[in-house]
Amino acid sequence: MCVAACVPILFVRVLYSLIFVITANMTWNAVKGNPTAYLLMTMIPEVALVALCIFTIRWIAPASGEAQNGKYQHAQEEGEMLTNRV
């Protein structure tokens, strides 16, 4: 879900360059253009992406100790079955 939410924000980041290429308007030039437009179209989406990723990481509940031990036990049993076949 985080990736789906980040794609439109990334599109805004790419759109800045496309606007300059399509229109040839110097306002959208990354080097000599308007610094306010550059700030709004590049930095703010980056900050939004970082904030969205941090929110997603903090929203996901960590696995409980029992669930982690169960996964380890299952992987260990599979590993033993593989080594017994050889």
* Averaged confidence pLDDT in the chain: 76
For residue 19, is pLDDT > 60?
yes
For residue 82, is pLDDT > 60?
no
- The model carries a pTM of 0.55
**Which candidate, 33, 10, 7, places its Cα nearest to that of 20?**
33
State the total domains in the chain: 1
CA–CA separation, 11 vs 80, rounded Å?
A: 48
For residue 81, is pLDDT > 70?
no
pLDDT at 35: 84
CA–CA separation, 44 vs 6, rounded Å?
A: 13
* Structural domain of 13: 2-85
For residue 80, is pLDDT > 80?
no
Q: What is the pLDDT averaged over residues 21-46?
A: 83
